[in-house]
Structure 1
């Protein structure tokens, strides 16, 4: 039998990640992750993302699509590489001077939850219709990706309600630090390659960043010093729906990832 990987074409995960707007969700997750003082310190002190933001983005995208669409062996190899990389990294909490491990389960859990919640939020607000049970199923499926980075799946929120409770528990420990403010600014106005910063592409890139910010929970926008008004949520939802429908009109084969193309071929499926 052909290996369908960790999820397979009948999974909610494949349905969610078929939506191109999940890329906006990925950006949204970075804004959320930056609000955890130790998570953002770990990135700032160990990553070269400022020197090579688009290379970092490409590597992260390749990891995510490999885990979703690759064979079980490919997904496990990708997870093992991430675990080895994280195991070598430490950082210093600038508030306390304490050194900590980047693979601390609390940090891994924060990154995982913000990522999958952002993917799901972007897809749903972009027009993907899922029942509450299907949304719960997505989180349940994603505990498999949590295991790849070294988390015990039993410690990972696996439903919409569990994710909401997790955010409630984490909010007192979140704050806007110098690192998170600098990261947020960089995400909003990143350097563009090939001189594109002097073209209309800059405006389009800023629009995507603004949408990612608008899709943040109100409490997260407030931490960044931005409006947490209900009107902002409504405007962001309308913009996400418009973008989701626009992207949905583009032929899948034009924008699908190489990993998905290989999976479709491997499983003998058509778009």
Structure 2
């Protein structure tokens, strides 16, 4: 390099050259990496939704709804979703439909992602996207039918079966919310949540959907005689246990989430699945572990789905010039 070239060459200033700048850069990189690892578990299957538009669209429920509050926390929803899958699998007809018509045995993460997309889209998506998701799933259900191992026919569109799948799901989400987000949530607020989410179940074709805490509890009690922990059920649980992590660094978190999901199951369901033996040890590890990890995940998901949806709804005031 010539003397003249050296004279006119100005090294590019690094944005993190100062200690404070470096700290901000490192924090941003860490947040991005954590967010990528977390969202890898819930994206990549099913339709891609834009939660940022159209401006002012509140979706089916809006930010003042209970389902926005309950579904906004990734950690509790993840543990609740794992618990819901195991609870749903205790119903022989629900399990037969998944067994015969799903790729869960070879793509369990895909199954989790599609469920996550449906929940997020119907909760936080625009009205158009939410209705399109519901119609898409409703059409898929119409093509799912067959014969269970016990000789009974099943149809995924059967209203009572849809009710079971729905109740197993929302009751698990609420249990997770009470344990890891707001243990003091009043029963009246829980009733609002179950009433709101019943709307989705009805739109999918479910019937006699319980819409309160008391009716959810009564329904689960009444359903117990119909539930079976079969070899197929145990195989599904084994697949969940060994679900692949997006990276080696995420494996401990995956194991923690699985055990927290087991811990969310009702005691009778844990007994049916053979989990009661180590229940006390699992509780002692999973609950404090999730409470330790949850704030980190919330910090990483600073631009998560619920945050983008909130900005979308608030954008109406900017568009019309009001305050």
Q: CA deviation at 1:262?
A: 3.7
* Structure 2 counterpart of 1:221: 270
- The yes-or-no answer on 1:40 pairing with 2:95 is yes
Instruction: State how many pairs are aligned.
Output: 259
Q: CA deviation at 1:229?
A: 8.8
Paired residues of 1:211 and 1:239 also in contact (CA < 8 A): yes
* Structure 1 counterpart of 2:230: 177
User: Aligned-residue CA RMSD in angstroms?
Assistant: 2.4
Cα deviation, 1:208-243, whole Å, max 9, x if unaligned, reads 21111111100001111221798579x36x843652
Q: 2:242 aligns with which of 189, 202, 207?
A: 189
Alignment partners' CA distance in 1, 2:164 and 2:289 = 30
Paired residues of 2:263 and 2:279 also in contact (CA < 8 A): no
Q: CA deviation at 1:201?
A: 3.4
Alignment partners' CA distance in 1, 2:281 and 2:199 = 34
- The yes-or-no answer on 1:65 pairing with 2:111 is no
Alignment partners' CA distance in 2, 1:217 and 1:255 = 32
- For residues 105 and 232 of structure 1, do their structure 2 counterparts lie closer, same or farther at Cα, with a shift above 3 Å needed? farther
Q: 1:247 aligns with which of 274, 294, 297?
A: 294
Paired residues of 2:80 and 2:175 also in contact (CA < 8 A): yes
Cα deviation, 1:15-45, whole Å, max 9, x if unaligned, reads 1112222111011000100100111111010
* Structure 1 counterpart of 2:260: 211
Alignment partners' CA distance in 1, 2:181 and 2:103 = 35
Alignment partners' CA distance in 1, 2:123 and 2:291 = 21
SS in 1 for 2:121: helix
* Structure 1 counterpart of 2:25: none
Q: 2:203 aligns with which of 148, 151, 161?
A: 148
- The yes-or-no answer on 1:167 pairing with 2:213 is no
Q: 1:4 aligns with which of 40, 50, 58?
A: 58
Paired residues of 2:202 and 2:209 also in contact (CA < 8 A): no
- The yes-or-no answer on 1:107 pairing with 2:151 is no
Paired residues of 1:211 and 1:240 also in contact (CA < 8 A): yes
Greater Rg over alpha carbons, structure:
2
- The yes-or-no answer on 1:265 pairing with 2:318 is no
Alignment partners' CA distance in 2, 1:132 and 1:112 = 19
Give structure 1 regions of 4+ aligned residues with deviation exceeding 6 angstroms: none
Alignment partners' CA distance in 2, 1:228 and 1:164 = 25
Paired residues of 2:121 and 2:130 also in contact (CA < 8 A): yes
Alignment partners' CA distance in 2, 1:17 and 1:263 = 12
Cα deviation, 1:186-206, whole Å, max 9, x if unaligned, reads 11112345xx4xx35333322
- For residues 250 and 53 of structure 1, do their structure 2 counterparts lie closer, same or farther at Cα, with a shift above 3 Å needed? closer
- The yes-or-no answer on 1:123 pairing with 2:169 is no
Where does 1:93-104 land on structure 2 (aligned, <5 Å)?
A: 93-96=148-151, 98-104=152-158
SS in 2 for 1:49: coil
**TM-score under structure 1 length normalisation:** 0.87
Alignment partners' CA distance in 2, 1:232 and 1:26 = 22
* Structure 1 counterpart of 2:18: none
Cα deviation, 1:92-127, whole Å, max 9, x if unaligned, reads 11012x332121112111110010111111011003
Gaps of 5+ in 1: none
Gaps of 5+ in 2: 1-54, 316-323
